[in-house]
């Protein structure tokens, strides 16, 4: 008999699940297998469901769809369920459980929908045999699941009974562990399999209850994860083939590799966690395949294993640790230890991507993953001398043929853009190499049809890798929106082709006309910071979450001037943003640097930049989270005296942030800002004032009262000479 099945897995690992299930069912038959939203569809014999239940490390559940129908209201739902021949699946003496998942449907209460399904099944038996099944939520004989999306309902038997991630070995856990099938998926992503286990070791230096190590051992020894489970949803289903099931179990047991000797090292700083992990490993039958040790991560060394290591772990991210010691020092310590491994592949699932830069490791890949309700990133790193990001990805991203045709990659527009990018890059790459510039603008709306800016950021940890940041300018209202979208997609494809970029080396955003704080607002929530270099400074950028990256490249020369002028001076950076100017001043030898900004996010980012450059000292380097207008009005409230040698003032063009007492308009307010900033300078002090507001005019009163020198031309770097109006800058002192 042929059945239809639907297999679900952990979100984000559908492709891995597809390949795993294809391999599991291959010995039985070339069954139809199709990847769809939410899982896999397949057709075949009952043996397919049995094999997946035994062998799949990645699956959550195996469903057997019974009926699909419209469920516009509760009556339609009830009638459709009642009309199924339930005598084919259970008797009135069986126990029953019903669950439901709903999305964008008129029936919008899952518990109510479950009750309706239960009522229909119970009424079916009451009306046909004058008896009814009992309801059992924990381990029912038959588990029925209802899914409704946009009023389209699918009613299925859950042949798993309960999620397949429950292998049965983990009776205890420490902290917030990974589900077993997520751990297996991460191992799959990290390249751990039966073959690689012969050539590589596996290290989990924060093993907790041991899930990663245990799953790794089961993979190496070919131990099927469902072999020892004592409950499945098909066990008392009327169509269950017990003889076939026993045959599948026997074959699975016979396939275990008793000779496997993987090198797996699992450690944790907690004695209790190691005891729990050992107990779990014993129940899984792999205690002899794993070396467990009580060891804090700072004691980890390459000598714990002999084979080239794959290091995979789940560092803590609970509030308890943040309160007691802070996660930032932990990540710095982790990085210090991991950098001791000369040639290792390192994989970390983290709920704190903003701290990954503290590892000071070159990231080669990233994948968004949910660990339960917690949004995480699965980040991969490699240590060694010749590591290029995403080495598993093709250098040139090829579009599907249909998409390539629609975008016309070989058309005149694409050719013109390609030629301009090549021309710009040829000149700028040589200039950058001569001047030791690692981050620069490659293209800035040079062609009217392609209104975008393209910046190159070289990875400070791996100069062989660079990220490209494409910022689309808002198209004029005269340009059709679909045409504008088509052009920017074409531009992305041409950029990937010209610079031979992998998928994670181009970041693209739309830069619309911004007012006030909008230019600093989040566009995404990935939170990861990347490390780049500018002269002697190491700086952090964010390529995903904001329109701007945290480093204004047009002020590179301005920052260099600050570096050169700051020696032995006391410096104040107002509206400091991420404090890249402050970092350069500090590295230039400033005796004190104070950075002020209203945003807590940017103050934290500024502090990270200072720590990255090993600039520490609470008195020497101060950070003030404050409205800078309020600070200038009442400097005494912030313990500021009129003794600064150097002040950098680069306010936003406009801001009406709720945190500010009054809206800021730079054209209207700049004279007052300059006057109050000058009041904080000593007699020989200098104010550097800059703005990027188009059409800005410096007030004549400023030039009359003060010594003003326009240094705009000297602060526009080579890569912005095509846009000399990118900013204006003045050096101001007392007359």
- E-strand ranges in 37-175 read 39-44, 59-70, 95-103, 134-135, 142-149, 152-158
Mean pLDDT within 443-472: 94
User: H/E/C letters for each residue in 369-403?
Assistant: EEECCEEEEEEEEECCCCCCCCCCCCCCCCCCHHH
Contacts of 200 (CB under 8 A, 6+ apart): 192, 263, 307, 308, 309, 310
Residue pointed to by tokens 């294993």: 305
pLDDT of the residue at 657:
67
Tokens of 723: 């846009």
The predicted structure's pLDDT at residue 324:
37
- Which pLDDT value is given to residue 722? 92
CA 352, chain centre distance (Å): 9
Would the pLDDT of 177 be above 90?
A: no
Please write the tens of the pLDDT for every residue from 303-359: 999 999 999 999 987 543 443 346 888 999 999 999 999 899 999 999 999 899 999
What pLDDT was estimated at residue 484? 80
Higher pLDDT, 177 or 491: 491
Mean pLDDT (the chain) is 91
Predicted confidence at residue 663, as pLDDT, reads 83
Percent of the chain with pLDDT over 90: 79
Parallel, antiparallel, or unpaired: how do β-strands 309-313 and 201-204 relate? parallel
Banded pLDDT at 547 (limits 50, 70, 90): confident
Q: For residues 242-259, give the mean pLDDT.
A: 97
Single out the residue of 650, 603, 660 nearest to residue 629, CA to CA: 660
Please state the pTM of the whole predicted model.
0.81
CA dihedral 432, 435, 436, 439 (to 10 degrees): -40
Q: What is the pLDDT of residue 133?
A: 96
Q: Where are the alpha helices (DSSP H) in 448-589?
A: 481-499, 556-565, 580-587
The DSSP bridge pattern shows strands 32-36 and 39-44 to be antiparallel
Q: Is the pLDDT of residue 523 over 80?
A: no
Q: Which pair of tokens denotes residue 411?
A: 């058309």
609 near 587, Cβ under 8 Å?
no
What are the chain's domains? Answer: 3-158 (3.30.2130.30), 180-222+258-382 (3.40.50.150), 401-513 (3.30.750.80), 555-734 (3.40.50.150)
Phi, psi of 286, deg, nearest 5: -125, 15
pLDDT at 320: 37
Confidence of residue 460 (pLDDT cuts 50, 70, 90): very high
Amino acid 502: pLDDT:
85
Nearest in space to 64 (alpha carbons), one of 227, 232, 216: 232
C-beta neighbour count of 409 within 10 angstroms: 18
- 656 falls in which pLDDT band (50, 70, 90)? confident
Band of residue 176 on the pLDDT scale cut at 50, 70, 90: low
Q: Taking CA 272 as the corner, what is the angle to CA 269 and CA 277, rounded to the nearest 5 degrees?
A: 90
Nearest to 34 by CA among 42, 23, 22, 46: 42
pLDDT digits (tens, 9 = 90+) for 361-417: 998 888 999 998 889 999 999 987 554 444 333 233 333 344 444 456 668 889 999
* Alpha-carbon gap, residue 471 to 481, rounded angstroms: 17
pLDDT bracket for residue 29 (50, 70, 90): confident
Phi, psi of 349 (to 5 degrees): -95, 120
Query: Which of the residue ranges 190-194, 380-384, 524-528 would you say has the lowest mean pLDDT?
Result: 524-528
> How many residues comprise the chain?
735
What pLDDT score does 519 carry? 44
């Amino acid at each position: 008999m042929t059945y239809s099945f639907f297999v679900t897995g952990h979100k984000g690992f559908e492709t891995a699940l597809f390949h795993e299930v294809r391999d599991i069912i291959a010995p039985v038959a070339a069954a139809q297998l199709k990847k769809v939203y939410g899982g896999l569809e397949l057709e075949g014999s009952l043996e397919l469901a049995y094999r997946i239940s035994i062998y799949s490390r990645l699956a959550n559940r195996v469903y057997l769809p019974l009926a699909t129908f419209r469920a516009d209201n509760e009556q339609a739902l009830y009638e459709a369920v009642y009309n199924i021949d339930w005598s084919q699946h259970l008797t009135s003496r069986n126990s029953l459980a019903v669950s439901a998942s709903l999305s964008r449907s008129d029936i919008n209460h899952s518990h109510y929908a479950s009750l309706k399904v239960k009522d229909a099944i119970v009424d079916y038996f009451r009306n046909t045999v004058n008896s009814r099944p009992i309801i059992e939520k924990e381990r029912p004989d038959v588990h029925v699941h209802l899914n409704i999306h946009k009023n389209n309902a699918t009613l299925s038997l859950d042949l798993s009974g309960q999620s397949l991630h429950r292998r049965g070995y983990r009776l205890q856990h420490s902290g917030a562990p990974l589900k077993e099938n997520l751990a297996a998926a991460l191992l799959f992503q990290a390249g751990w399999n039966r073959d690689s286990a012969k050539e590589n070791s596996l290290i989990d230096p924060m093993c907790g209850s041991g899930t990663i190590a245990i799953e790794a051992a089961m993979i190496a020894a070919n131990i099927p994860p469902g072999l020892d489970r004592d409950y499945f949803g098909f066990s008392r289903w009327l169509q269950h083939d017990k003889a076939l099931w026993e045959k599948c179990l026997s074959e699975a047991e016979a396939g275990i590799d008793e000779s496997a000797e993987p090198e797996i090292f699992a450690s944790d700083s907690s004695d209790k966690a190691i005891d729990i992990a050992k107990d779990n490993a014993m129940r899984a039958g792999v205690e002899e395949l794993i070396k467990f040790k009580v060891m804090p991560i700072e004691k980890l060394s390459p000598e714990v294993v002999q084979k080239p290591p794959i290091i995979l772990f789940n560092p803590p991210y609970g509030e308890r640790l943040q309160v007691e010691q802070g996660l930032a020092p932990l990540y710095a310590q982790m990085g210090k230890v991991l950098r001791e491994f000369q040639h290792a592949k390192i994989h970390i699932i983290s709920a704190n991507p903003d701290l990954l830069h503290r590892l000071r490791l070159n990231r080669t890949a990233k994948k968004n993953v949910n660990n339960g309700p917690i949004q995480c990133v699965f980040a991969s790193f490699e240590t060694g001398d010749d590591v290029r990001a995403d080495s598993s990805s093709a250098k040139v991203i090829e579009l599907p043929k249909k998409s390539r045709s629609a975008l016309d990659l070989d058309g005149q527009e694409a050719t013109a853009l390609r030629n301009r990018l090549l021309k710009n890059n040829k000149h700028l790459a040589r200039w950058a190499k001569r001047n030791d510039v690692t981050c620069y603008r490659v293209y800035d709306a040079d062609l009217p049809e392609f209104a975008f800016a393209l910046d190159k950021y070289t990875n400070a940890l791996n100069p062989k890798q660079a990220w490209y940041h494409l910022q689309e300018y808002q198209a004029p209202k005269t340009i059709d929106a679909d045409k504008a979208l088509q052009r920017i997609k074409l531009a992305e494809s041409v950029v990937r082709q010209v610079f031979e970029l992998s998928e994670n080396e181009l970041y693209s955003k739309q830069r619309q006309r911004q007012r006030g704080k909008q230019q600093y607002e989040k566009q995404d929530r990935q939170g990861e910071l990347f490390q780049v270099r500018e002269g002697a400074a190491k700086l952090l950028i964010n390529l995903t979450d904001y329109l701007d990256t945290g480093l204004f490249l047009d002020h590179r020369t301005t920052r260099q001037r600050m570096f050169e002028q700051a020696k032995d001076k006391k410096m104040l950076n107002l509206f400091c943003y991420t404090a890249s100017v402050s970092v350069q001043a500090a590295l230039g030898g400033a005796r004190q640097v104070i950075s002020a900004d209203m945003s807590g996010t940017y103050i934290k980012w500024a502090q990270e930049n200072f720590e990255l450059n090993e600039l520490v000292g609470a008195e020497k380097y101060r950070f003030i989270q404050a409205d800078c207008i309020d600070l200038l009005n009442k400097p005494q409230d912030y313990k500021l005296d009129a003794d600064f040698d150097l002040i950098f003032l680069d306010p936003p063009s406009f801001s009406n942030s709720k945190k500010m007492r009054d809206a800021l308009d730079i054209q209207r307010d700049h004279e007052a800002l300059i006057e109050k900033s000058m009041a904080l300078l000593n007699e020989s002090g200098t104010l550097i004032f800059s703005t990027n507001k188009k059409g800005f005019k410096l007030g004549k009163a400023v030039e009359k009262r003060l010594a003003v020198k326009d240094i705009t031309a000297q602060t526009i770097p080579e890569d912005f000479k095509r846009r000399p109006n990118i900013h204006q800058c003045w050096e101001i002192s007392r007359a």
